[in-house]
Amino acid sequence: MQQVVGKQDITILADRGYDDSSSFKTVHESGVTAIVPKIRTSANRSKGLFTKEDFVYNKEKDVYECPAGKDIPFSFVSTDKGKPLRAYMSAMACKSCAIKSRCTTSTAGRRIRRLDDEDHVERVAQAYKNMPNAMTLRQQTVEHPFGTVKQ
Ligand code: SF4
């Protein structure tokens, strides 16, 4: 990890693998900006289907806006490794959707899951988008000294 210290803020550039939502919450609560590339593990991407990144969360309405322009509302809460996981789905909208074959193979329609602390994941993703050279900067300033120390 690398810290970029500005006048009033601290930004941490971390490598892939530090992509952990509960850590992001702690980092943000301490007033630090985190920039971490996301590990892409979506099976949908390799199948040529829309991924979660194609859906936009609308916090005010608590819905996901899907690629067909429909609002996909909150449906229920489940848990994953003890963490609450909110599910958004709309069987009705998906049933009549013209682009369903590009979205899901499920007859019940597309389901989008959202962590309780996903706001922090989105904030990190946005920070990464805002600083496209972040990983180059990290490599230039951290990898070489690290390699030297290791040798
Ligand atoms: S299948 Fe459902 S979620 Fe997917 S684009 Fe169509 S309406 Fe939206």
* Residues flanking ligand 1, CB < 6 Å: 66-68, 70, 72, 93-94, 97, 99-100, 103-104, 109-110
To test the pocket of ligand 1, the residue of 65, 72, 75 to mutate (highest count of ligand atoms within 8 Å of its CB) is 72
Domain boundaries, the chain: 2-150
Amino acid occupying residue 16? R
CB 34 within 8 A of CB 21: no
Point out the ligand 1 atom lying closest to the alpha carbon of residue 93: 7
Summarised one tens digit per residue, pLDDT across range 112-147 is 999 988 899 889 888 888 888 888 888 788 777 778
Query: Going by CA atoms, what residue is nearest to atom 4 of ligand 1?
Result: 103
Summarised one tens digit per residue, pLDDT across range 66-115 is 999 999 999 999 998 888 899 999 999 999 999 999 999 999 999 999 99
